[in-house]
Structure 1
Amino acid sequence: MTRLPVVILTSFLSVTAFAVPYAEYILAPSQRDLSPVSVHQANGTVINAAGVTTSGSGGTTFNSVSAVTYDYTKNIGGLVSFVISSSSDSEQYIGISFTESSMWISPDGCDATQNIAIDETLWFKITGPGNYSVEPLHDRGGFRYLNVYHNTTGNVTLSHLQTYFTAMPHFPDDGLRDYTGYFHSNDEKLNRVWYAGAYTDQLCTIPSTAGNSLVDLDATDPDVPTVWWSNSTLTNGSSAFTDGPKRDKLIWPGDFAISVPGVFLSTDDAITVKLSLQQLFASQNATTGALPWFAQPVHVFPDNSFMDFGKVVFSFNYHLFTLLGLHNYWIYTGDDEYLQNNWNRFKLGLNYSLSFVDATGLANVTSSFDWLRVGMGGHNIEANSILKHTLDVAVALAYAVNDTSHVASWSNASTAIASAANTLLWDSTASLYKDNETTTLHPQDGNVWSIISGIASANQSTAISSALAARWGPYGAPAPEAGTTVSPFITGFELQAHFLAGQPQRAIDLMRFMWADFMLGDPRMTNSTYIEGYDTSGALHYPAYTDDARISHSHGWSSGPVLALSTFAAGLHVLNASSWVAHPQPGNLTNVEAGFEVGHGKYAANYSITAGGAKYTFSTPKGTKGSLVLDVPTCNGEFAILGNVSGNDGHSKSKRGSGHTKSFHWSKQIKHRGFEASPWRCGVWGPSSPSAHSSANDGSITIDGLAGGNYTVDITCT
């Protein structure tokens, strides 16, 4: 069933002044020097444990063996320092350790950054009064809890304890909350979900010199804390966009696949995306065109086996994610020069992917490396769906750089993939695609990507959406290709798939119970950022890891709701710097609004249910053009749009029709496409082709050729 679209003009118009709306939801701090907010727990003999918190006063004294765990109430990251006002002698020691989840508070060390055991505690010999600071090579991104230990006889008094927040290092110290984007709805759960996603992406933006060094990666004793350093240089600038602030603290293109749009929709941190993307291209094999599983750091010390492994390993999908990352960067920035400079790298990389296509028309994947799922290989539906989408993106980019020599072959390859996938991999009984011809597994990743890429038809998309929703458990959507895993990464793409299948309510429901109720609401979480993955039972165990302490609780690939809510629910689809589609899909939300500013201008939209129907108000940059898509209401009614419709002078145009029949009577300015709906598609990187998709909605109405500007749409049921 299709809901009635609408938006409120007054809230929308306030956006144009562009004070940061809804700043009360922003989790980023107002300045970098942060004191702990409260005492989580204290052990031993501690006097005035809360003295060094934001609400405390006076010193905190540790007597004999004692400890305090301080709570910042949200995930943060940075360099810790403390001031000693007095000590009983010069042989006292204070230990500092960190944890994101309350599950890993320990006197023995920190939650893990490496493959085995927990990370060592940082110990300071207290030689007398003064300031003591953690060295930059121990910059700890990602912790909510700060543990302070005293392990000797005697006593030590702290008069001050703080963390210098190091995320977003290139932003002004007082500018961390200066968002260029916003979101709000009538649902407080979704409001929190959007801002936690934006903050997760901020924490993943680290100083470029604070990457993982994996100094003790080859440790084998789970009972001995491992050495940890954060001193690799990741980019040639001051910042880097990594998968997580605790670990891996490396540039992974898989994370880019879903988190980069969230960056543009919240902070428009284009420079960090550009620097990080360029490091991925710098790691490309100049002969084959193969792109890395992760970007090689500019400098790493000491050398270790994992970094060496990263120089030679190839991931079919992560290779494609880098290519798609270039498109995604170009969409929001309009940086034609950057696109042109990397165009030959893009073509070389795409040709390498096409070298895996065999006589079936599908790519035969020979590498098992992906997002920590198992069984990757063969005529894999996920890999081939992503390849098809990349081919469609390549066609759009070819026209942008005026190099269309490969357009025909790329288009033919895209068509062949879709045909072969439906012949060889579609299981009509399950209403899902198989992982490949040799298995009965129906993966989450490949099925959601089949919708995004347009391999699945409208009817198949509807069926897939239903089948995926039927598999949900109490803690989210399962990814059976990774055992008993719930993957927020792949589920972020599932959100898009439900919207594209004309089922926005499923996406909204999934965000409410998986992201809001569990990933934010569970007391084991950080209440501010999103976990990397967990078990379908709700256990904080990521089946890909043997060490549960290693799980990241701030992972950019889990921030998919930022894109889902701004782009799909509010309907602001940026196709490139000159074109857009406005298509609200609010589900059962009675009000939803979003806005953002990127390099080529500002976008805003506001949808609201009214007494007699709905209103949708939206604004797009001058000099752009686009289309308005409205889902057909389930009533007879009148549709009126005020704005620059097909170049008119801003006077109101009324369009009448019935939501119950296939016969509509619209004026000539309207290009009506009937119950087959609008054949456009907007996934995570914009449209794969102008005619790739027909929605499974009851129908939709499209107005093409709208000039950038301000529009008000009223829908009234009669």
Structure 2
Amino acid sequence: MACRWVMSPEILQEGRRRPQPANRHHDGPTGTAFGTFSLQSVVGMDEYLGFTFTESSMWISPFHCDSASAAIFDSPLWFNIPSEGKYNAEKKRQRGGFRYMSIWHNSTGTVAIRDLSVNFTASPEMDDLRDYSGYFNSDSERLNRVWYAGAYTNQLCSMDPAYGNALGIPGNDWYYNATIANGTSVLIDGAKRDRLVWPGDIAISGPSIFVSTNSLDGIKNGIDSLFILQQPDGRLPWAGTPFTRARNFPFSVTYHLYTLLDLYYYFLYTGEQAFLENYWGQFKLALAWSLGTIDGSRMANVTSSNDWLRSGMGGHNVEANAIFYHTLDMSLRLAEAVGDDSVVANWTAAMAGIKDAVNEHLWDPAQNLFFDNDRNQTASAIHPQDGNSWAVVAGIVDADRAAAISTSLMDRWVRPYGAPAPEAGATISPFATGFEVQAHYLAGFPERAVDLIEFMWADFMLDDPRMTNSSLIEGYSTNGDLHYAPYDNDARISHAHGWATGPTSALTFFAAGLQVNSTNGKTWLIQPRLGTLGRVTAGFETVLGKYSANWTAADAGNIKGDFQTPDGTLGNLILPSGNGKLALDGQKGPNVGRTAGGEEER
């Protein structure tokens, strides 16, 4: 995030408490949140400078930082300054994400400093942090800002694996020194907090990284760190180390499946066959464990309550079963890639059973939404945002039911704040809403997706003065308070959280209609969904080359534009129906027909 140096008379005058000396460093290693400063002059004995950091303007203070742990607040970063010279801070003191920095002189003398510098420690795997291979632009500047805020947020959430969350760190004398993965970089959940590998977050942030920077090493290292922790029975961890460690294996059915989806996405975007084959045995073992949870209902019976901090997970849950269905679907593509047909019949049969059972037993025709599970199907039962969105994303429902879900979800929006997730209380979750955005596109209502992104992400999550204006928040309340129901401490909320970046990939995949369907984009789908947009252009790259599209709305529901894919690739073009005529002019010459879909080899 952008750094701001805040210094005022109040900061210089308030408080004369002697600071804790734990953060006194002189000429030490560089690489903290702000890097270095030089002391030009000092008058007095036993002088101290304290630096405080915060993501939101709500927590600007000379006395404390916002919270990166369970503490209510974190202490300032203290420097004992006995003499003139250059002062550096240890890299384990890097804050990861902040917008505001305050300086507090907590002594009776006088000091003068100069040459204050900030070290930007995000995305260490990138030589040039401005080297975006992907791009997006439309006639909605609000959408453009959201797309790039998502890309930037994910850069902030890619870090040196040696400086993760050690857990149990005190608010006073805070530090990050846990090695959470191998390699140069790893994709974490939040720049400030938790600074851990969470597979559910990667399922949203991974595709958004692909369409923006395409810097995927952090995803690979994160996947490695999760498979290392796999249990003998096949279960994969809820989160990476040190959250998961010897004799402590917290488990989540949904996050177990997200790890498998993360591997699918990584292989889809990179085509690293050896990486897939290295984990194929473990992948099948993990999926076999999940298949073992299917009972006589033909649905998975969830016995772990852990998920994305929503409540009520358990039993025949619609979210878990929809994610399971989608994971099986994508796993069949991986089985084909490695030439393993031994799993096809079993996985296909499981998919059919889940689809039929979810629609038969969990649908509520009174609400046109799915119940959360079959434990409570009364009038007061929860109809979750996550499960209903996932039902559409996974393809469990037909077109009519998908449209009904889209309408019912839209009817619950809380303007001007966003789409609620009642399964997590009075909460708006950018994570769950990322899947809702996809659901509106897939259900045939792109105008709803555009509206939701504009008012929730642009107008509130970027433009509210309590936000950073450049990165995306973890969660907040349905009344607009920056309070996230799972946390007792509001200062703990992450304002740079990768799981909030869903619109970045959705706008490329659905608004511009650029999707890769097989490894590296050997096959693709071009299906623009402009909604209320008058113009959209986007592009990204794989090792095969560049993919781009440029569309403009015309009259009578028609669109005009062009697209480009690498030579030798093959795909389908699907355009809005308009007046039913299709005119193509490409390498094979002009073609005029009445179909809105067809194959086009480039």
TM-score, length of structure 2 as denominator length: 0.93
| Structure 1: runs of 5+ lacking an equivalent | 1-26, 28-33, 47-61, 67-75, 218-224, 298-305, 645-649, 657-671, 673-700, 709-718
Aligned to 2:427: 485
Letter paired with 1:539: D
Q: What is the alpha-carbon distance in structure 1 between the residues aligned to residue 470 and residue 118 of structure 2?
A: 17
The match for 1:4 is none
Relative to structure 1, the CA distance from residue 418 to residue 640 in structure 2 (aligned partners, 3 Å threshold; closer, same or farther) is: same
1:359 aligned onto 2:296: yes
- How big is the shift at 1:65? 6.5
155, 176, 187: which one pairs with 2:140?
187
Q: CA 1:600 to 1:427, structure 2 compared with 1: closer, same or farther past 3 Å?
A: same
SS of equivalent residue, structure 1 residue 140: coil
After the TM superposition, which of the residue ranges 388-397 and 362-371 deviates more from structure 2? 388-397
SS in structure 2 of the partner of residue 395 of structure 1: helix
Distance between the aligned counterparts of 1:473 and 1:438, measured in 2?
27
Pair 484,63 (structure 1): closer, same or farther in 2 beyond 3 Å: closer
- Aligned mates of 1:165, 1:584 — CA distance in 2: 37
Aligned to 1:549: 491
CA-based RMSD of the aligned residues comes to 1.9
In structure 2, the residue matched to 1:695 is none
Q: Which amino acid aligns with 2:237?
A: P
1:309 Cα deviation (Å)?
8.3
In the TM superposition, residue 321 of structure 1 has moved relative to its aligned partner by 0.3
Query: Helix, strand or coil for the counterpart of 1:462?
Result: helix
1:324 alignment partner AA: L
Q: CA deviation at 1:271?
A: 1.7
Distance 1:245 1:312, change over 3 A: same
Report the Cα offset of residue 81 of structure 1.
1.7
1:619-676 per-position Cα deviation (integer Å, ceiling 9, x unaligned): 111221110011211x3x53211124xxxxx2101114xxxxxxxxxxxxxxx5xxxx
What is the distance in 2 between the residues matched to 1:607 and 1:324? 31
SS in 2 for 1:362: coil
The yes-or-no answer on 1:640 pairing with 2:580 is: no
Deviations 1:566-618 (A, max 9, x none): 11000001112211100000111111010011223211001012468421211
Residues 382-531 of structure 1: pairs in structure 2 closer than 5 A: 382-439=319-376, 440-474=381-415, 475-531=417-473
Note if 1:318 corresponds to 2:255: yes
Among residues 464, 473, 476, which one is paired with 1:534 in the alignment? Answer: 476
**Given the alignment, which residue of 124, 127, 135 partners 1:169?**
124
Alpha-carbon spacing, 1:429–1:211, altered in 2? closer, same or farther (3 Å): same
Alpha-carbon separation, structure 2, partners of 1:196 and 1:546: 27
How far apart are residue 257 of structure 1 and its match?
1.0
* Residue type at the aligned position of 1:119: D
| Identity, % of aligned positions | 48
Structure 1 residues 166 and 551: CA distance shift in structure 2, 3 A: same
- CA distance 1:227–1:365, shift in 2 (3 Å): farther
> Does residue 1:652 correspond to 2:590, yes or no?
yes
Determine which of 202, 207, 210 is the counterpart of 1:264: 210
Q: Deviations along 1:176-230, whole A, 9 cap, x unmatched?
A: 101100000011101101000000000000111110112436xxxxxxx444211
Cα deviation, residue 561, structure 1: 0.7
Q: How far apart in 2 are the matches of 1:331 and 1:77? A: 35
The offset of 1:91, in angstroms, is: 1.3
Q: What displacement does 1:345 show?
A: 1.1
User: Is residue 160 of structure 2 the alignment partner of residue 207 of structure 1?
Assistant: yes
Aligned position for 2:573: 628
Is the alpha carbon distance of 1:610 and 1:430 closer, same or farther for their aligned partners in structure 2, counting shifts above 3 Å? closer
Offset, 1:547: 0.4
Among candidates 223, 233, 255, match of residue 179 of structure 2: 233
Measured against aligned partners, the alpha-carbon deviations of 1:254-280 in whole angstroms (never above 9, x if no partner) come to: 101100001111111122211111111
Distance 1:307 1:191, change over 3 A: same
Structure 1 Cα separation of the partners of residues 436 and 42 of structure 2 = 56
Which amino acid in structure 1 is aligned with residue 592 of structure 2? Answer: S
Q: Is the 8 A contact 1:488 1:532 kept in 2?
A: yes
Is 2:237–2:244's contact at 8 Å kept on the other side of the alignment? no
User: What letter matches 2:568 in structure 1?
Assistant: G
For 1:348 and 1:45, the matched residues in 2 are separated by 58
CA distance in 1, matches of 2:363, 2:208: 32
Does structure 2 retain, via aligned residues, the 8 Å contact 1:178–1:267? yes
User: 2:160 & 2:336 partners in 1: Cα distance?
Assistant: 36
Q: Which amino acid aligns with 2:329?
A: D
Structure 1 residue 41: Cα displacement = 5.4
Deviates more, 1:111-120 or 1:457-466: 111-120
Aligned amino acid, residue 161 of structure 2: S
Q: TM-score, normalised by structure 1?
A: 0.79
* Letter matched to residue 585 of structure 2: L
Confirm or deny: 8 A CA contact 1:117 1:226 kept in the other structure: no
2:115 is aligned to 160
Single out whichever of 356-365 and 115-124 deviates more from structure 2: 115-124
Secondary structure, counterpart of 1:363 in structure 2:
coil
CA shift for structure 1 position 350: 0.5
Structure 1 45/182 Cα, relative in aligned 2: closer, same or farther at 3 Å?
closer
| Structure 2: distance between partners of 1:112 and 1:64 | 21
Shift in Å at residue 64 of structure 1? 9.2
Q: Does 1:707 align with 2:565?
A: no
Aligned-partner Cα distance in 2 for 1:90–1:169:
40
> Match of 2:96, SS?
strand
Task: Give the counterpart letter for 2:199 in structure 1.
Answer: P
Q: Which has the higher strand share?
A: 1
- In the TM superposition, 1:572-651 aligns within 5 A as 572-576=514-518, 577=520, 578-610=522-554, 613-633=558-578, 635=579, 638-644=581-587, 650-651=588-589
Alpha-carbon distance in 2 for matches of 1:316, 1:483: 21
Structure 1 residue matching 2:456: 3-state secondary structure: helix
Cα 1:41–1:128, aligned 2, differ >3 Å: closer, same or farther? closer
Q: Which structure 2 residue ranges, 5 or more long, are not aligned?
A: 18-30
| Contact 2:511–2:529 (Cα < 8 Å) also in 1 | yes
Tell me which amino acid in the other structure corresponds to 1:453.
A
What one-letter code is carried by the residue in structure 2 that aligns with 1:639? L
Cα distance, 1:507–1:416 mapped onto 2, change above 3 Å: same
CA distance in 2, matches of 1:423, 1:611: 42
How much has 1:367 moved relative to structure 2?
A: 0.2
Once residues 64 and 367 of structure 2 are traced to their aligned partners in structure 1, the CA distance between those partners, rounded to angstroms, is 48
1 CA distance for matches of 2:38 and 2:133?
A: 37
The answer for the alignment partner of 2:287 in structure 1 is 350
Count of matched residue positions in the alignment of Structure 1 and Structure 2: 581
Deviations 1:299-324 (A, max 9, x none): xxxxxxx5548941110000000000
Q: Distance in 2 between matches of 1:408 and 1:153?
A: 77
What is the DSSP-based 3-state SS (H/G/I as helix, E as strand, rest coil) of the residue aligned with 1:110? coil
Counterpart of 2:584 in 1: which secondary structure? strand
* Equivalent AA in structure 2 for residue 707 of structure 1: E
Structure 2 equivalent of residue 668 of structure 1: none
CA contact (8 A) 2:244 2:250 kept: no
Superposed CA offset, 1:319-372 (max 9, x none)? 000000010001111111211111111101101111111011000000000000
CA contact (8 A) 2:11 2:103 kept: no
Aligned partners of 2:524, 2:175: CA distance in 1, in Å? 44
CA distance in structure 2 between the aligned counterparts of 1:606 and 1:342, rounded to whole angstroms = 38
CA distance in 1, matches of 2:203, 2:244: 22
Please list the CA deviations of residues 242-299 of structure 1 after superposition, one character each: whole Å capped at 9, or x if unmatched.
00110100111010110000111111112221111111111111x11110111125xx
Please say if 1:197 is aligned against 2:135.
no
